[in-house]
Structure 1
């Protein structure tokens, strides 16, 4: 699907209609301070909870209303329409990760209530978004750019902070919902489609104590896409699924105490996922004596178990200082059960079980601020510790099949200060020192500024640094046989990241209509980038080494128009990426540009208590360079390849009944029916190309119905 004049006309026609409607209601522009109390309160990167307008950082907020309107199952469903973000799914592993400003999921942190979430072999980064349940989420805050002073390693491109619901308004709050969803045109009650059931109960014990329990079951029955599933016994390559089936179970419990000067929040979570792999190769197993066959295949079940224990404390001292402290112990293991499955008799033999990925993480972070009693000056002191141990035999290769556990300890202290030079101008410098038991110590810095201009203009600028530590595969991978020699490198150094962002926001009011325009300039520079390169030509050996650099420049425009019963958004971003390979003479280092457009519209019919929502995102053609052969002197030659443009579109209708006790949401995902996107300049172009050089992004157009019941008393 190519971006053409028709697409541009559709996008900007939407925008002009919104502008025209807003102008019809135009009155005297109000000062922004009049509606300051309506601003959303944010906590990510702040000393204390405060409005977005007062925040030094530019924070993007996705609130509960947006989550409900999309009936999003997990974080991947929700973030798919944000600019500068791309969801990267894998049909065969069941994982979905994010590319953020062109950098993969290893370069930013995902936090839950400011605590990084454990992953297969680390903490905070490389998270599978489909494993993050949204039932008890209040809002999601996104901070773009390197924020290493506040969040340390692997926060090169930003952080995503998931804020959970903590307070309870009634003595008892009971919520239950079911959601049925097709997978493309595949659906039955049990064996096809997606089936979700959830139950949550909360109790206000007294004026200070409250507790919650929750359970969610999410069954994805897989995507056949012309294949024949588990029970197919002919060896024709059609057995199994194009998109693997999996079942997720999430159980949560929390306890909340809210006093005058002290708050406590404890959360326990257990997550379980079973992912089923069915091999396409079928063995006939013919018995010549009885002239019968008992076909079988080698199947696998991947099981993930995650336990989370988070404790957060906050309060105020008699001196007026505010403190926050978080403590977390998390474990995650991924097990593999491999067996010979007899398809007709449904029997198993030759079963083997192993745990091939394991992570144990203890995390603690604490801050104290408001130590100065000055109205113009404040500063924050903080510490952070991470104790990580684990192994990944799949990523680290055959040399570690004995499940050799690696350990890494990290200690950090940081401080920042905020100067309010006037009611309009605030400055915040910061510095962080980190000691790592495996890598050299790091000193990170940042400087942010916010200036409130007249007539609703807000100007923000930030400069910051962070770094990315090498992962298991880059450090320990070992695959050597007669044809291959590919190795990790335990002497790798962390990649160094630096970013600067400039943001200009304008807020305007036209009677009952408000408009927000946001322009952003972004620059990210990454050095010592880790890549797999030729370490020796004779014999040919590959090794992960620090050789490359990565640079991104971007321009983003985000525009929102709101009235009492409708909201319209239109945004665009143009990103240029340069990958610099210092060891390759023929490497191309010029910037390659890609365009993203997004728009959304929500209309509320109050008399019907019904909301209509449409979301659309266009990802323009992307370009990159790949190595292709060598010249006569043995130097690598590079060829430019492209990934075709494509667009996502979702729509939903949300209706409330019985004074909001019952809610029904019906909608469609991927309405433009995206499955694969052609790459490498295929002869058959378009989003639905079936050429082997294609990128699998989705399983086609799907529809869902969600019924939710709230009981409060």
Structure 2
């Protein structure tokens, strides 16, 4: 009897479950903005259920709903208001097109970096620049550097000895720039920002740039500003597959699919259903080098040539997450394996030395967000990075055919770095006039290696808090402070900032800000020792943090805001004053040894005018910047002979013209960078100074994109149209650990020709 009842109960429960499953149907629809364009990235949910979905770039969505009458809730990141639409769910039901009240340009200008919550660029207290997915796609870029290269205020330098590049932002070196991946700092082994070009460009949704110190929010290194690389999240499709292949010459050098030139391949998949989502991707970027000497070149012939080293990258990423109306959690992992090969010339004894630099990087991040109600939310971020850089040096003997490892100092080395991050912030909106955001952050960094003393670990603990106050309807204030305790160096006790935004008129916004910035001495600067035949470098465990006082202001005029016509212009200026700057100097106990000391002051200042014009099928960005860098000789006896600042102008333009009739577009990215002057003591006469200059140059990329059908898109074009390879340089020394003195400065491998094909397939 009991068994019979149990079987009957099981049958009834199973029948009810089956019926419930049959009563759940899939709703399909499309959402447009107020000006009739696709509304992408909107959050959708079915009221009183946990079912969620997102619109894709065509505004299309698919969401599960109970059969019968339901309420579709549409949430915008701009207004934070929810729009409810009554719907009738039936099998294969296609809803009528839904129109929201926001316009397309408002949705496209949503920013998150440094904000309490996603909001429109117009309402953000900080001045934020964005580079959206469309521009990234049309540029046919293979790394982040190719995107930023034509943005004003950015400049890149190249170390041909190590085969890496570094970024400069608003007149400040890369060590003063914070690089974030989805808000999590990227770790580098030195002050070179190598990580910037170790990110899979195919996973990037957009790039947000905040100029000026962001040390209160993001801690160390954020003196010049922040570059936040935001990766792709949930797709509107239930399942999708994308792939990309791109071939590119390096100057006039090219071999199909492998060898000389640039060869890029990518494949990725994504899936989402009822709040769950997952995606994974794999890319291979192969660069065959440029101007590489032949295998029979002698050592002297190789040393006389400036050449770009071959590089091979394998990148993999995965993301999984769950979202409902109140809660969002997701995990992401990014892995890169990079090999840079440096082959020397044949020695008189018929041997050749080859060095390989291998980088393995694994970035892990876990994000969680709880919206308890409309006033209170909690955000938590955890991150762990494991970075390993291996140097392997081998010697090949042509006479015997034997290959062996060399034994010189630093020729066999494995340097390991790791970093752990935990950050939690609470956002509480007390009223329409005031909101507060307290937070805590814990960082742990460790390192080991042949050239690093011991196994040092740095622990950093911080509490930060800010408030957003609206004393007037036209005025928004954001005071903030960060309190720091560090286990190794003497951190500043408090780092304050104050930002304000004033709506002078409906079209005119004024932003002003002050920030106290700081940069912690890096592990390499504290504990790195390197002695060989040509280097005598020693770390300094007594370094203090670099500090800065920074001021910035911007005036934005949104002159025209109509459906087909938009014009915005921004005039901005900044001034930064740095103290206790870390520089190389002589070790006091042994003048033959180089070490790092806090000796320098430094300043940067400048202004920019940025204009954006959109009219129907034309998008135009045009502007000018003028950046001044401090001449350190003004601190000494040459102060009367040397101006305080040396100035460099930049002219820039980005144009995208869409051709609907042929389903294509043309994009042009242009930047002219003026000569870069500096003053140095004349080596022939130490009692006089001389003016030195790095020459001006013009960088232009021209790309054409054509949609072949609903699945395929072709891109072709020319990068570095004016064939820039080196910059003139009249300095007697170019600086840097691997500089070769004066002479030309390597900048690029020349004009390149691009041809690529992208595939995308989605199932809703």
Q: In the alignment, what sits opposite 2:467?
A: 417
Given that 1:550 and 1:578 are in contact with CA atoms closer than 8 Å, whether structure 2 keeps it comes out as yes
Q: In the alignment, what sits opposite 2:10?
A: none
Asked if 1:339 is matched to 2:394, the reply is yes
Going from structure 1 to structure 2, the CA distance change for 1:172 and 1:504 (only over 3 Å counts) comes to: same
Give the whole-Å Cα distance in 2 for the aligned partners of 1:590 and 1:318.
Answer: 53
Superposed counterparts of 1:576-655, under 5 Å: 576-580=628-632, 584-586=636-638, 588=642, 590-629=644-683, 638-655=689-706
SS in 1 for 2:122: coil
Give the whole-Å Cα distance in 1 for the aligned partners of 2:590 and 2:365.
Answer: 52
Superposed counterparts of 1:492-571, under 5 Å: 492-509=543-560, 512-534=564-586, 542-571=594-623
SS in 1 for 2:512: strand
Q: In the alignment, what sits opposite 1:686?
A: none
Q: Aligned-pair distance for 1:344?
A: 8.6
Give the whole-Å Cα distance in 1 for the aligned partners of 2:354 and 2:510.
Answer: 57
Q: Aligned-pair distance for 1:110?
A: 0.6
Q: In the alignment, what sits opposite 2:39?
A: none
Asked if 1:191 is matched to 2:246, the reply is no
Give the whole-Å Cα distance in 2 for the aligned partners of 1:71 and 1:598.
Answer: 19
Give the whole-Å Cα distance in 1 for the aligned partners of 2:704 and 2:187.
Answer: 35
Give the whole-Å Cα distance in 1 for the aligned partners of 2:166 and 2:531.
Answer: 29
Given that 1:223 and 1:241 are in contact with CA atoms closer than 8 Å, whether structure 2 keeps it comes out as no
Going from structure 1 to structure 2, the CA distance change for 1:165 and 1:531 (only over 3 Å counts) comes to: same
Of residues 216, 220, 232 in structure 2, which corresponds to 1:165? 232
Going from structure 1 to structure 2, the CA distance change for 1:572 and 1:118 (only over 3 Å counts) comes to: same
- Which deviates more, 641-650 or 582-591? 582-591
Of residues 269, 286, 296 in structure 1, which corresponds to 2:351? 296
Give the whole-Å Cα distance in 1 for the aligned partners of 2:271 and 2:537.
Answer: 56
Give the whole-Å Cα distance in 2 for the aligned partners of 1:311 and 1:502.
Answer: 35
Summarize deviations over 1:2-27 as a string: whole Å, max 9, x none: xxxxxxxxxxxxxxxxxxxxxxxxxx
Superposed counterparts of 1:136-151, under 5 Å: 136-151=203-218
Asked if 1:696 is matched to 2:746, the reply is yes
Give the whole-Å Cα distance in 2 for the aligned partners of 1:166 and 1:484.
Answer: 46
Summarize deviations over 1:469-516 as a string: whole Å, max 9, x none: 223454345467899865432212111112111000111227632111
Give the whole-Å Cα distance in 2 for the aligned partners of 1:111 and 1:344.
Answer: 50
Q: Aligned-pair distance for 1:354?
A: 4.0
SS in 1 for 2:581: strand
Superposed counterparts of 1:44-83, under 5 Å: 44-83=113-152
Give the whole-Å Cα distance in 2 for the aligned partners of 1:249 and 1:184.
Answer: 23
Q: Aligned-pair distance for 1:237?
A: 1.3
Going from structure 1 to structure 2, the CA distance change for 1:136 and 1:539 (only over 3 Å counts) comes to: closer
Asked if 1:463 is matched to 2:521, the reply is no
Q: Aligned-pair distance for 1:129?
A: 2.4
Normalised by the length of structure 2, the TM-score is 0.80
Going from structure 1 to structure 2, the CA distance change for 1:348 and 1:540 (only over 3 Å counts) comes to: closer
Give the whole-Å Cα distance in 2 for the aligned partners of 1:355 and 1:622.
Answer: 37
Q: Aligned-pair distance for 1:468?
A: 1.2
> What 5-or-longer segments of structure 2 have no aligned partner?
1-100, 733-739
Going from structure 1 to structure 2, the CA distance change for 1:696 and 1:508 (only over 3 Å counts) comes to: same
Q: Aligned-pair distance for 1:217?
A: 0.2
Superposed counterparts of 1:129-528, under 5 Å: 129-189=196-256, 190-204=258-272, 206-224=273-291, 227-229=292-294, 231-232=295-296, 234=298, 237-238=301-302, 242-280=307-345, 282-285=346-349, 295-318=350-373, 320-342=375-397, 348-350=403-405, 354-372=412-430, 374-391=431-448, 393=450, 400=453, 404-442=454-492, 443-478=494-529, 487-509=538-560, 512-528=564-580
- Which deviates more, 514-523 or 576-585? 576-585
Going from structure 1 to structure 2, the CA distance change for 1:480 and 1:545 (only over 3 Å counts) comes to: same
Going from structure 1 to structure 2, the CA distance change for 1:188 and 1:33 (only over 3 Å counts) comes to: closer
Q: Aligned-pair distance for 1:158?
A: 0.4
Given that 2:322 and 2:328 are in contact with CA atoms closer than 8 Å, whether structure 1 keeps it comes out as yes
The structure having more radius of gyration, on CA atoms, is 2
Give the whole-Å Cα distance in 2 for the aligned partners of 1:268 and 1:542.
Answer: 39
Given that 2:302 and 2:344 are in contact with CA atoms closer than 8 Å, whether structure 1 keeps it comes out as no
Given that 2:458 and 2:487 are in contact with CA atoms closer than 8 Å, whether structure 1 keeps it comes out as yes
SS in 2 for 1:69: helix
Summarize deviations over 1:10-67 as a string: whole Å, max 9, x none: xxxxxxxxxxxxxxxxxxxxxx998774451111010011111110011000000000
Superposed counterparts of 1:92-103, under 5 Å: 92-103=161-172
Given that 2:391 and 2:412 are in contact with CA atoms closer than 8 Å, whether structure 1 keeps it comes out as yes
Summarize deviations over 1:574-615 as a string: whole Å, max 9, x none: 112214468743464611111111012111011111110111
Give the whole-Å Cα distance in 2 for the aligned partners of 1:510 and 1:262.
Answer: 35
Q: How many residues align?
A: 647
Say which structure, 1 or 2, has more relative contact order (CA 8 Å, 6+ apart). 1
Going from structure 1 to structure 2, the CA distance change for 1:158 and 1:142 (only over 3 Å counts) comes to: same
Going from structure 1 to structure 2, the CA distance change for 1:310 and 1:559 (only over 3 Å counts) comes to: same
Q: Aligned-pair distance for 1:699?
A: 0.6
RMSD: 2.7
SS in 1 for 2:344: coil
Give the whole-Å Cα distance in 2 for the aligned partners of 1:642 and 1:431.
Answer: 40
Going from structure 1 to structure 2, the CA distance change for 1:37 and 1:561 (only over 3 Å counts) comes to: closer
